């Protein structure tokens, strides 16, 4: 019965073919580490945010006089409303944890190299869309931090030459953040996840064209690619279990950690909180914004700091595969960069005073220097490595590589 229905469908739509080629038999490098679980986890978080968000929207009221109360209504009176809301509010932070790790893995293994440039860039677009969605979602509870955060960030667009104040008013729908802003942010916050979903589809089509990268950085020979199912379905399920244990620990036992105390006070346009601070996932970029004394310069630097990752496929000129795995200088640069991002995050969370200001400026300089100095350093590193002889592990890999691969022992300044 089932087979005949499937047969009927397959004559009209390649269902079995798609499942076989894109899921069960999809060839996956057998040497993927657990760092490769995070793409799948990001997908899970997206679905969880979408589902909880849709249910929250059934009770949430995007109106300045009702928004704050409606969130409390959800938290107190709706059956398991507190669970939906805490999954959603914790999920926002979880989303950034997962995609930042996903990005860090790409950076570490330099997976953005040919032929995966479009993977990297579509991922960047997804990240920008998630940032926009998170920012707009943060306004919806209509607490003090929601209001003042939106006020400060929309205000940044005022530095645009000539049209600054027009753009700010266009974004807010009013002279200052108010009912029009709340309603449009809600509408867009509901729309964006579906756009993200579509973009994830593009990201996956690109993935299935170029296939997963792997720690060696070289496309493995066919014998070293194994079917996705059951090997990676199970590995992903195990990873999902670990992820959910961590996630649920926060949802059930520390859900308040991601909600600022000030956001439990209803928005009040007449009272500015003593310290306005974005959510932790924006702090490094916020620190960059504040470290430039000129406001226009700061906004440009902040925007640049988010999109600059896109230049990496060109900026990293090394032809040695595997990124930090085989390249000591690149590994050092990666670690210093990660430490620098943490430092910027800390500085972004503190009032800008005293010694933190020059430290923040130095950290900002280091952040950009990492990208702008990568072309010469990656080239010099390669020359140095080839003059000393490539590591034996890498040479063995070159012999085993798949013929379609660009990596070889011939490139560079040998």
Partner 1 sequence: MKRLIIFAFCWLACSAWGEAEVQLNKVEVATDLPTLARGAETVMTVCNGCHSLKYIHFRELAKLGVEKDKVDGWRGSNPMGTAIASQMPADAAAASFGKAPPDLSLMAKAREGEANYIYSYLLGYYTAPDGTTGNHYYPPTKMPDVLAVAGVTDPAQLAELNKKAREVTSFLVWAADPHAQERKSLGLYVLGYLLVFTTMMYFLKGRIWATLEKV
Judged by the rule CB under 8 A, the positions of this chain that interact with partner 1 are 30, 69, 72, 75-76, 82-83, 86, 224, 226, 230-231, 234-235, 237-238, 241-242, 244-245, 248-249, 251-253, 255-256, 259, 261-262, 264-265, 335, 338-339, 342-343, 345-346, 349
Given the residues 89, 146, 212, 213, select the one marked as catalytic.
Answer: 212
Q: How far apart are the first and last CA of the chain?
A: 63
* Cα 126 to Cα 148: distance, rounded to the nearest angstrom: 26
Q: Give min distance, CB of 253 to partner 1, in A.
A: 6
Phi (first) and psi of residue 61, to 5 degrees: -120, 110
Q: Is 260 a catalytic site residue?
A: no
Q: Is 61 a catalytic site residue?
A: no
Radius of gyration of the chain (CA): 24
Q: Nearer to partner 1 by C-beta: 117 or 224?
A: 224
Q: Give min distance, CB of 107 to partner 1, in A.
A: 12
Given the residues 189, 236, 277, 378, select the one marked as catalytic.
Answer: 236
Phi (first) and psi of residue 6, to 5 degrees: -60, -40
Q: Nearer to partner 1 by C-beta: 170 or 238?
A: 238
Sequence-separated (6 or more) residues with CB below 8 Å from residue 69: 61
Q: Give min distance, CB of 339 to partner 1, in A.
A: 5
- 3-class secondary-structure state, position 412: coil
Q: Nearer to partner 1 by C-beta: 86 or 135?
A: 86
Q: Nearer to partner 1 by C-beta: 86 or 192?
A: 86
CA distances from 209 to 114, 179, 212, 310 (A): 13, 45, 9, 20
Q: Is 223 a catalytic site residue?
A: no
Backbone conformation region of residue 207, classed left if phi is above 0, alpha if psi is from -120 to 50, else beta: alpha
Q: Give min distance, CB of 385 to partner 1, in A.
A: 20
Q: Give min distance, CB of 410 to partner 1, in A.
A: 25
Q: Is 235 a catalytic site residue?
A: yes
Q: Nearer to partner 1 by C-beta: 209 or 249?
A: 249
Given the residues 260, 279, 381, 382, select the one marked as catalytic.
Answer: 279
Are the C-beta atoms of 88 and 56 separated by less than 8 Å?
Answer: yes
Counting every residue written for the chain, the total comes to 414
Q: Give min distance, CB of 119 to partner 1, in A.
A: 23
- 3-class secondary-structure state, position 355: coil
Retrieve residue 411's tokens. 């490139």
Given the residues 21, 114, 208, 275, select the one marked as catalytic.
Answer: 208
The full DSSP string for 65-131 is: TTHHHHHHHHHHTSTTHHHHHHHHHHHHHHHHHHHHHHHHHHHHTTTTSTT-HHHHHHHHHHHHHHH
Given the residues 20, 211, 235, 379, select the one marked as catalytic.
Answer: 235
Per-residue b or e along 218-248, where b marks 16 or more CB atoms closer than 10 Å to that residue's CB = bbbeeebbbebeeebeebbeebeeebeeebe
Are the C-beta atoms of 26 and 227 separated by less than 8 Å?
Answer: yes
Q: Give min distance, CB of 124 to partner 1, in A.
A: 23
Q: Nearer to partner 1 by C-beta: 81 or 137?
A: 81
Q: Is 208 a catalytic site residue?
A: yes
Q: Nearer to partner 1 by C-beta: 131 or 259?
A: 259
Q: Kindly list the catalytic residues.
A: 208, 212, 235-236, 279
């Amino acid at each position: 019965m089932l087979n005949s229905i499937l047969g009927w469908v397959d004559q009209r739509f390649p269902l079995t073919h798609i499942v076989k080629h894109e899921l069960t038999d999809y060839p996956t490098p057998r040497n993927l580490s657990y760092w490769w679980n995070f793409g799948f986890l990001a997908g899970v978080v997206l679905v969880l945010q979408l589902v909880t968000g849709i249910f929250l929207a059934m009770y949430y009221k995007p109106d300045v006089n009702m928004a704050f109360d409606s969130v409390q209504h959800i938290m107190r009176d709706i059956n398991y409303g507190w669970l939906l809301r805490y999954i959603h509010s914790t999920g926002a932070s979880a989303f950034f944890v997962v995609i930042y790790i996903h990005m860090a893995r790409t950076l570490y293994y330099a997976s953005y190299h040919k032929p995966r440039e479009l993977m990297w860039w579509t991922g960047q677009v997804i990240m920008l869309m998630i940032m926009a969605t998170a920012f707009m979602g943060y306004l919806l509870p209509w607490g003090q931090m929601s209001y003042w955060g939106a006020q400060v960030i929309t205000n940044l667009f005022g530095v645009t030459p000539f049209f600054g104040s027009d753009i700010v008013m266009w974004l807010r729908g009013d002279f200052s953040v108010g009912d029009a802003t709340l309603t449009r942010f809600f509408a867009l916050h509901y729309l964006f996840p579906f756009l993200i979903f579509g973009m994830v589809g593009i990201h996956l089509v690109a993935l299935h064209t170029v296939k997963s990268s792997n720690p060696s950085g070289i496309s493995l020979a066919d014998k070293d690619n194994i079917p996705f199912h059951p090997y990676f379905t199970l590995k992903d399920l195990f990873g999902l279990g670990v992820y959910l244990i961590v996630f649920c620990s926060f949802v059930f036992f520390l859900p308040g950690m991601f909600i600022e105390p000030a956001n439990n006070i209803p928005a009040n346009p007449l009272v500015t909180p003593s310290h306005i601070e974005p959510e932790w996932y924006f702090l490094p970029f916020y620190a960059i914004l504040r470290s430039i004394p000129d406001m226009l310069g700061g906004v440009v630097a902040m925007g640049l700091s988010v999109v600059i990752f896109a230049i990496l496929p060109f900026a990293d000129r090394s032809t040695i595969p595997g990124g930090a795995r085989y390249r000591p200088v690149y590994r050092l640069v990666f670690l210093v960069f990660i430490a620098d991002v943490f430092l910027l995050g800390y500085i972004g969370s503190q009032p800008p005073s005293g010694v933190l200001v020059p430290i923040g400026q130095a950290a900002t300089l280091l952040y950009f220097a990492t990208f702008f100095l990568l072309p010469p350093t990656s080239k010099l590193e390669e020359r140095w490595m080839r003059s000393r002889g490539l590591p034996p592990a890498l040479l063995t890999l070159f012999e085993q590589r798949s013929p379609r691969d660009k990596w070889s022992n011939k490139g560079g300044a040998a």
